[in-house]
Homo-oligomer: A and B are copies of this chain.
Amino acid sequence: MGIRKGRRPGSPDTRAAILAAARDAFAERGFDRASIRQIAASAGVDPALVHHYFGTKDELFLAAVQAPADPRELLPQVLAGDREQLGERLVRMFLGVWDSPAGPAAAGILRAAVSHEWSARLIREFLVSQVLRRVAAELDVPDSDRRVALVASQLMGLAMARYIIKLEPLASAEPAWIVAAVGPALQRYFTGELPDLPTMG
């Protein structure tokens, strides 16, 4: 009676279960407050097994949140089409990702990025080298790196307000409305007039 030691019969994919539990835990409780013991319990498994599969907690986090969405797959859809509606397409895709099953993972990354420098570095490197740089290369306007950073700031703010802080009425607004409201703002960052760099002195 009770749970015996040793290998269990059948072949449940325990590894995947742990990963799923970790994903959930990190997403809704953040890195610090998500505990390995709790993740293990939630996966119906001993904590040591978590360490057996994924080493340390940091590694588990990396395994759990890696690639919530692949920019190499998504960006071309956004970049294709006329440049005058780039902003709206980007917001639409952004909301699509966050409202998808990948959303919680993204929330986990964002939560972790706020409290851990190494995770902030992670998201920064990801944004810069996987997303922003590619978009910037596709734009044929000057100051493209500044432009994409402004775009990133608005999108991060949108995610914070809508999914983390849950600020109303943004949190429960229709995606279509948000696209129409925020899209043009991004469009201006992309292709509109921006100030020159201030000349010192």
Contact = CB atoms under 8 A, between A and B. Distances in A.
A95 interface: no
Interface centre among A123, A153, A160 (most CB of B within 10 A): A153
Interface in A160-178: 160-162, 164-170, 173-174, 176-177
A158 interface: yes
The binding surface of chain A is classed by DSSP as helix
Interface in A118-163: 120, 123-124, 127-128, 145-146, 149-150, 152-158, 160-162
* Number of this chain's copies in the complex: 2
A110 interface: yes
Contacts of A164: 113-114, 120
Contacts of A128: 167-168
Contact of A115 (B30, B156, B194): B30
Residue in A124, A128, A161 with the greatest tally of chain B CB atoms within 10 Å: A161
Interface of A: 29-30, 32-33, 110-111, 113-115, 120, 123-124, 127-128, 145-146, 149-150, 152-158, 160-162, 164-170, 173-174, 176-177, 180-182, 184-185, 188-189, 194-195, 197-198
Given A32-B115, A177-B195, 19 more contacts: A30-B32, A32-B32, A33-B115, A110-B114, A114-B164, A115-B115, A124-B166, A128-B168, A145-B169, A146-B181, A149-B167, A152-B161, A153-B161, A153-B167, A153-B182, A156-B161, A160-B160, A181-B189, A185-B188
